[in-house]
Structure 1
Amino acid sequence: MGVVIRRAGESDRADVVRLLDEAFHDDPVSSWVFPDAEHRRRRHGALMNAFLDLALDMGHVDITEDGSAVALWWSVPAGEDEGGEEGPAQLRAAVDPDNARIEEIGRLTGEAHPTDRPHQYLHMIGVSPRRQGEGLGSALISAVLDRCDQEGLHAYLEASNSRSRELYTRLGFHFMGNAVHLPDGPQLWPMWREPRPFGADGGDTGRFA
């Protein structure tokens, strides 16, 4: 039996934010955004909550039935610029006004984000540290990519480490050639995926409840 996936909504907010906070708290990018560990402990969850708001507003959120993995997707039309110049500043003001890095990472990733074709944007995918390595992330992504293939839609994401980059490559994404370099920090790899003939990757690994 495949992984059972359902669409998350407002009633799932506390569980989704808690999962994202746990999954990304020690991630190199989160550690760069909040270099002070105590400050990260206090404000990281607020950033995850804001990201959930964006996904619910601009796309959708998929979660495994047992709540152990979640993916935040945006539906991006052609010409969309992720909120323009004001978006990162508004996010900073809402989450941590004195933290310029929130605005900076939003600006840098926004500049790298392609705008010429509509696509599905995998903004974040988080798996409980206790459940990593079980294929839950692949199942969440593949469920949406199957729909992209059926509908002829492109997909985009930023890989934050070499391990995830390898996974995304196996799922049909390719590195776009210019990494996003965070000042004195890690880098992100923008990756793009063309739609495949449906079923070319062996079919879905997840099913929706």
Structure 2
Amino acid sequence: MGVAIRTAGEDDRELVVRLLDEAFQDDPVSGWVFPDQQHRRVTHPKLMAAFLDIVLAEGRVDLAEDGTGCALWLSVPAAHPENEGEAEENGDAAQLREAVDPANERVELIGQLTAAIHPVGRAHEYLWMIGVAPDSQGQGLGAALIQHVLDRCDREGVAAYLEASSARSFTLYERLGFALLDRPLDLPDGPRMWPMWREPQA
């Protein structure tokens, strides 16, 4: 699928937040974080905005030129000394909860649980989120957005990592060369997530 992709900036913030919100409103993990649907409609965009701001500051946002899809990437360096970042990650999760939905412990818990399974050791590209507008899903746009970075990973010999939040996305990522890393993460009284790793390919 030929997709024109550009790097998003601050001017695209409103568009990308809306895109992520629409793409993840009915995602199993979003439903677990915000089980009340009415509350989710109001609060979910705030979480998407907080995630986007982190990636705009520290990573890269790829945006389809027509505004129908985006991918949020962070470059993770080689391992830091053991446990050095653990307290910082937990602190980040607590700050996120305070900013987005202070009464909702799951906003903090999802950050802690995904940080705990995130691999350390080798530098890699981390696909934090990928969102495609509901009307454009199933047409290969998500795969094209991901492959855009995977091609660079292959050229540079860099691995990639993500957490799949649904069985459907797990299947897509398998087709792109990702494989289950260790074992799935079962959220407390909630859905399953799949940590997946991809070695650079020739």
The code of the aligned residue for 1:132 comes to Q
Distance 2:2 2:41 in 1: 35
- Which residue number in structure 2 is paired with residue 61 of structure 1? 61
Residue 13 of structure 1 pairs with residue 13 of structure 2: yes
More helix by share: 2
The code of the aligned residue for 1:29 comes to V
- Which residue number in structure 2 is paired with residue 35 of structure 1? 35
RMSD (Å), alpha carbons: 1.2
Distance 1:72 1:97 in 2: 25
Shift of 1:118: 0.8
Distance 2:115 2:107 in 1: 12
Instruction: Identify the range of structure 1 (75-84 vs 85-94) with the bigger mean alpha-carbon deviation.
Output: 75-84
- Which residue number in structure 1 is paired with residue 75 of structure 2? 75
Aligned match for 2:183, one of 178, 200, 206: 178
Shift of 1:28: 0.9
Aligned match for 1:131, one of 131, 136, 143: 136
Aligned match for 2:98, one of 88, 93, 96: 93
| Percent pairwise identity | 62
Shift of 1:141: 0.2
Distance 1:157 1:182 in 2: 16
The code of the aligned residue for 1:91 comes to L
Aligned match for 1:157, one of 142, 162, 166: 162
In the TM superposition, what whole-angstrom CA distance separates every residue of 1:52-96 from its partner, at most 9, and x where no partner exists? 011112210001000000100011112364842211111111111
- TM-score, reference length from structure 2: 0.94
The code of the aligned residue for 2:44 comes to H
Contact persistence 2:90–2:111 (CA under 8 A): no
Residue 105 of structure 1 pairs with residue 107 of structure 2: no
- The 4+ residue runs of structure 1 with deviation greater than 3 A are 80-83
**Other structure's SS at 1:6 match:** strand
- How many residues align? The count is 197
Shift of 1:171: 0.7
The code of the aligned residue for 2:132 comes to V
In the TM superposition, what whole-angstrom CA distance separates every residue of 1:21-70 from its partner, at most 9, and x where no partner exists? 01101111101000111111111000000010111122100010000001
Distance 2:147 2:124 in 1: 15
In the TM superposition, what whole-angstrom CA distance separates every residue of 1:184-206 from its partner, at most 9, and x where no partner exists? 11010000010011xxxxxxxxx
**Other structure's SS at 2:182 match:** coil
**Other structure's SS at 2:45 match:** helix
